[in-house]
Structure formats: structure tokens, C-alpha cells
Structure 1
Amino acid sequence: MTKPALSLLDVSLSLMGNAGPVDILHDITLDVAHGETLGLVGPSGSGKSSLLMLMGGLETATGGRITALGTDITRMGEDPLARFRRDNMGVVFQSFHLIPTMTALENVATPLELAGVSDAFDRAEAELAAVGLASRADHYPSQMSGGEQQRVALARASVSRPKLLLADEPTGNLDETNGAAIIDLLFGLRDRHGATLVMVTHSNDLAARCDRVVRLRDGRIDGSAA
């Protein structure tokens, strides 16, 4: 039997608040198959983004086990986890997180440069072209619209050809037209690189394009539908 791309077993997350620990996620058990597109939906505060951060090793679970691409990342140290993420994952955030002092091309090339890839800028240029921004390569984030910045963020997330692509409300800061274009690009990048895609969204239209939808409520899986 093929192992899943992502496997979560009895995963819990508690964070310290002003009045003591706050339980965010409770005993989440979930498998995501290789090449699957999974939508995480639910009301605000249900734990969707926290679950995505755990999948990407950007938050540490307080209970349970998380396996990504056959590797247990639950208690992995910060440096090896950063290298694992660099080599295997692409993450797209709602707020872009571009480096303001770098051009679009430099932003996209950064993960490849950190990995020591010799043709980092050639690959970054090709990835910018794939998201329709070849002519904006020398522009800084402040010179680009929100939709263009999110395209750069998509190119940066996909330039290393990740096996796992994680997206947290990728259209949340965009208007309807730009949001639709970003989603088409995101699914296109997934298809081009054969990645597994997990996406947090409030959009019913976007969720409908996923292979499977998992609904969260109060930090627990409320149900799933194909």
C-alpha cells in the first residue's frame, strides 16, 4: 500500500494564552494521498490555519504524530525541519510575505539560492513566466498590485518543485477577478509539478474544485465530503 503524502495521528495543539493554555486542535487524525487536493474549511477560529501550519512544520504539535512524505516531523529540530521544508514544501500565505527590498526575480530565486542551486535565477525567471509575470521580474513588491504580489508568492512556493504545496487563504486579500486567476494558477502549478495540495479556504467555489473537503469545527474534524 502506498503511504500517504501527509499523515496525522491523534494530533493536538495547545497554545499559552493570558489566562493559561488554550486548546486549538483536538485529536486530529487525517491522511492526505499523494497528488490529492484537499480543502480545509470551517468557521473562523475552527483551527484550519493552525492545522495547515502543523502540516508544514511551522507550528509544533503538543500531542500526536505528523508524518510528511514518510518522515516524522513531529519533534524534528528547527534546522533539519527548515531544510526538509525547503526541499519538499511550498507554502503560500494570504499576506504574500515577499521580501520588500528584493525584486520579484530575487524573491522567487531565494529558496533556490539557499539550497545552493546553480541555475537559481534561470529557474526563477521561468517560474515568473509561468505565472504571467515575465515583464515584472525587476519590479519590487511595492511596485506591484496585490494580485501580482500573490503571483510572485506562488512562483516562489513552486520554484523548487515541491512535493507538498500548502496554501492558507491564498485569495483572501484579493478581489474576485484576481482571486479566480490565482486559483487557476495554483491548480496549474500543482498539475505541472505533480504536487499534493492542501488549502485553507472560506470560498465554497474554491472548495468545490478540491478532490476532497474536510470541515473543522471547534478544533475537531466535523466531517468530510468527496
Structure 2
Amino acid sequence: MADTVLALKDATLSLDGNAGRIEILHGISLDVTRGETLALVGPSGSGKSSLLMLMGGLERATSGSVTALGQDLTEMNEDALARFRRDHMGVVFQSFHLIPTMTALENVATPLELAGEKDAFDRAGAELKAVGLSHRADHYPTQMSGGEQQRVALARASAPRPEILLADEPTGNLDETNGSAIIDLLLGLRDRHGATLVMVTHSMSLAARCDRTIRLRDGRLDLPAHAEAAE
């Protein structure tokens, strides 16, 4: 039987806005197995990023359950969730989220230092080398291109050897050439560390490189997913 890494059971997400309560996700049930690469596709506003945030414990389900590596994220407090992400997850955002006052090497070493790794900078240097940025180790984010910043973000996410990699539109701010290079690196990091990868994307060429594609529409799973219909 396949080893389930992420499991959502009737998960819903509601948030309070100026116009009242907004229902974002409706009764999501989904299993992701170890080593799988899953693409989340659908129109803007369909709930793709919100679903990814539930998987990472960055949003808390209003009802239902979200389980990662056998742990119920909905039962954890914020400190426990932060520790769980530190120890088991890597997250890559569209807007990079690098620390502007830190060099590339320091950015990549940060999660390792927080985890108490004694060889944090050696491992950070190895990850920068893996994404082709050894020569940028002492540069700050503002001194790097968008593609380079995203490669640093990938190195930072993969440095702790996470079991789960979550990527939210990792090529959204990049041109086609840089975007393609980032995907090659992301899939390579997945293969090198044996991580399970869940990725939000509008790119159907990217989705086609994943093991499975799930489409969302209006906060619900739209199954079966037809790649050619995604927007």
C-alpha cells in the first residue's frame, strides 16, 4: 500500500473579510503519497494557494482534518506548526521571501541554524553549488536577478532535506527561460532528496511534468483534472 504523506479529509477554509465570512475551500479530501509530484491547477481565485497553505499548516482548516506525516496539523498550536515545518517541510513562494539583509549563503543557512545543525554553512554552500550559485554566496538579494533569487529560495527550502516540498507558483515572477531552469532544479532537488512535491502552477507544461494533476474550481476539487482545460 502506498505511503500517504499528506491527507486532507473534508477540509474547509473560511476567512472573515470586510464583507463578512468568505468560504474559500469546500470539503477537500485528498491523499498525496510519498515521493509523488502533484500539480495544483485552476483559474485564479480557485483556491490553489489556499489549499497549499493548508497542507503546510500556514492556514488552519476551519473544519475537517489535515494530516502530514501522520501528524494532525489542525491540532497543533502555532509553535508546534513552526517546528514541524522546520523539521519536515520546505516552502517556496512566488515572491522569493529572502531576507534582504542576509547574503545568499546566510539565507540558505538560516533554517539549518534554527534546527541546530553544526555544519549549517557547509551544507548551505553545497546547496548553493547544487543550484549553480556558488559565485553568488556573498551577494545580497538586491544584487541578484529574479531567477537567481528564486534559486537561492530553492536552495534554502531544500537545505534541511525536507520530506515535503511545497511550491506556490515558483515560476510566476520569471521569464520562460528562467522559469524552465527553476523547474529543472526543483525536480532535481526532489529527486536528490526523495521529497514529495506539491506545486501550484498556471503552467500546463510544468503540470505535465508532474505525476498527477489536480484541478480546483470555486474552492472545490474538479475531478478528473483535464490539463488542457486549466487556465
TM-score by length of 1: 0.99
- Paired residues of 1:212 and 1:224 also in contact (CA < 8 A): no
Q: Which residue of 2 aligns with 1:64?
A: 64
Q: Structure 2 counterpart of 1:211, which letter?
A: D
- Paired residues of 1:60 and 1:75 also in contact (CA < 8 A): no
What aligned pairs does 1:171-182 form with structure 2 within 5 A after superposition? 171-182=171-182
- Residues 154-199 of structure 1: per-residue CA shift (max 9 Å, x gap): 0000000000000000000000000000000000000000000000
Distance in 2 of aligned mates of 1:30 and 1:125: 36
SS of equivalent to 1:57: coil
Q: Which residue of 1 aligns with 2:133?
A: 133
SS of equivalent to 1:223: coil
Q: Which residue of 1 aligns with 2:194?
A: 194
Identity fraction in percent: 79
Q: Which residue of 2 aligns with 1:162?
A: 162
Distance in 2 of aligned mates of 1:135 and 1:18: 48
Cα pair distance change 1:213/1:76, threshold 3 Å: same
Distance in 1 of aligned mates of 2:187 and 2:88: 18
Q: Which residue of 1 aligns with 2:33?
A: 33
What aligned pairs does 1:14-33 form with structure 2 within 5 A after superposition? 14-33=14-33
Q: Structure 2 counterpart of 1:163, which letter?
A: E
Q: Structure 2 counterpart of 1:6, which letter?
A: L
Distance in 1 of aligned mates of 2:58 and 2:217: 21
Distance in 1 of aligned mates of 2:64 and 2:142: 42
Distance in 1 of aligned mates of 2:180 and 2:3: 33
TM-score by length of 2: 0.96
- Unaligned residue ranges in structure 1 (runs of 5+): none
How far did residue 2 of structure 1 move?
Answer: 4.3
Q: Structure 2 counterpart of 1:167, which letter?
A: A
Alpha carbon RMSD of aligned pairs, Å?
Answer: 0.9
How far did residue 209 of structure 1 move?
Answer: 0.4
Distance in 1 of aligned mates of 2:49 and 2:120: 30
Which 4+ residue blocks in structure 1 deviate beyond 6 angstroms? none
Distance in 1 of aligned mates of 2:2 and 2:222: 26
Distance in 1 of aligned mates of 2:9 and 2:58: 17
- Paired residues of 1:105 and 1:138 also in contact (CA < 8 A): yes
Q: Does 1:223 align with 2:223?
A: yes
- Paired residues of 1:215 and 1:222 also in contact (CA < 8 A): yes
Query: How many residues in Structure 1 have an aligned counterpart in Structure 2?
Result: 226
- Paired residues of 1:3 and 1:70 also in contact (CA < 8 A): no
- Residues 94-146 of structure 1: per-residue CA shift (max 9 Å, x gap): 00000000000000000000011000000000000000000100000000000
Q: Which residue of 2 aligns with 1:207?
A: 207
- Paired residues of 1:150 and 1:182 also in contact (CA < 8 A): yes
Distance in 2 of aligned mates of 1:70 and 1:108: 28
